[in-house]
Amino acid sequence: MSPTILITRPGPFDAEFADKLRSRLGCGPRVVLSPLIRIEKVGQLPDLAAVKTLIFTSRNGVAAFAAKTDRRDIPCYCVGDATAQAARDEGMTTTSCDGTSDDLVTLILAEEDLGPCLHVRGKHAAGNVAERLRAGGITTDETVLYQQMSQPLSDEALALLAGSEPVILPLFSPRTAQLLFASCEISAPYDVVAISENVAAELPDGDPRTVQIAEKPTVSAMLDAVERRVAAANALERGNLAQ
């Protein structure tokens, strides 16, 4: 039996990822959506008069900024291509590091005359971007425009994780991993596909059958990794049936 894929990332990105998976994998694997985080917009923008560069580390940050102001004339630096595309879709001029927050900080520090910068982020954010840029000599402020509210797994997801059939868990953030493993005990055999080493570090010791880390911290690389994991699971199942 092909494993079920349980997607726990926030909406609408859960459905978006599921649609992309289905287009790649066809009608084979069952896909279950159960977001563990709900995004809520909060706060107000500071005065943007002196800001020369915006910094976005998620598409949620772009959406929250765009909802609170009509300003589209401030250049921005983005952590990845998906975030950069979201900013371009809103009419902004963007530069993408196509990597991690570490890569983003390194890229900005290598540039000249970018400050004052403003990092638009959520309440829970990894990387200490503003702090590290200030330490590197770039004037940087930060503003929280959304918060990531936890929510429980659905009954369908709980039943899946309490069952005996194999499950693949694509995990996109350390906080999602923390919430998942704090929310229930998993008795189903499961494999993890993690977007980064930081996410993999949140996994319980010895529980997953396998842990695969995406080659890059991008949606495209996660799709590749999940597809490989499904293919490996199906090959194992065929081998077992042949014995």
Can you tell me the mean pLDDT for 188-214?
89
Can you tell me the mean pLDDT for 123-127?
81
pLDDT given at position 239: 53
Can you tell me the mean pLDDT for 145-149?
93
Q: Is the distance from CB of 59 to CB of 68 less than 8 angstroms?
A: no
Place of tokens 């084979």: 28
pLDDT surpasses 60 at 77: yes
pLDDT given at position 153: 95
* Band of residue 177 on the pLDDT scale cut at 50, 70, 90: very high
* Band of residue 243 on the pLDDT scale cut at 50, 70, 90: very low
Percent of the chain with pLDDT over 70: 95
Can you tell me the mean pLDDT for 69-75?
96
Integer Rg of the chain from CA: 19
Strand order in the sheet with 94-96: 37-41, 140-150, 117-122, 53-56, 76-78, 94-96
Give the Cα separation of 235 and 2 in Å (integer). Answer: 10
Give the Cα separation of 114 and 134 in Å (integer). Answer: 12
Asked if the bond preceding 12 is cis, omega within 30° of 0, the reply is: yes
pLDDT given at position 237: 60
Which domains are delineated in the chain?
Answer: 4-36+152-242 (3.40.50.10090), 39-148 (3.40.50.10090)
Q: What are phi and psi of 3, to 5 degrees?
A: -65, 155
pLDDT surpasses 70 at 119: yes
Measure CA of the first residue to CA of the last residue in the chain; give whole Å: 15
pLDDT surpasses 50 at 143: yes
Give the pLDDT confidence of 6-56 residue by residue, as tens digits.
Answer: 999 998 899 999 999 998 887 678 999 999 999 999 999 999 999 999 999
Average model confidence (pLDDT) across the chain: 90
Q: What is the pTM of this model?
A: 0.85
pLDDT surpasses 80 at 65: yes
Can you tell me the mean pLDDT for 94-122?
91
Can you tell me the mean pLDDT for 194-209?
87
Give the Cα separation of 116 and 134 in Å (integer). Answer: 10
Strand order in the sheet with 167-171: 31-33, 4-7, 167-171, 190-194, 211-213
Can you tell me the mean pLDDT for 54-78?
95
pLDDT surpasses 50 at 150: yes
pLDDT given at position 205: 77
Give the Cα separation of 113 and 4 in Å (integer). Answer: 49
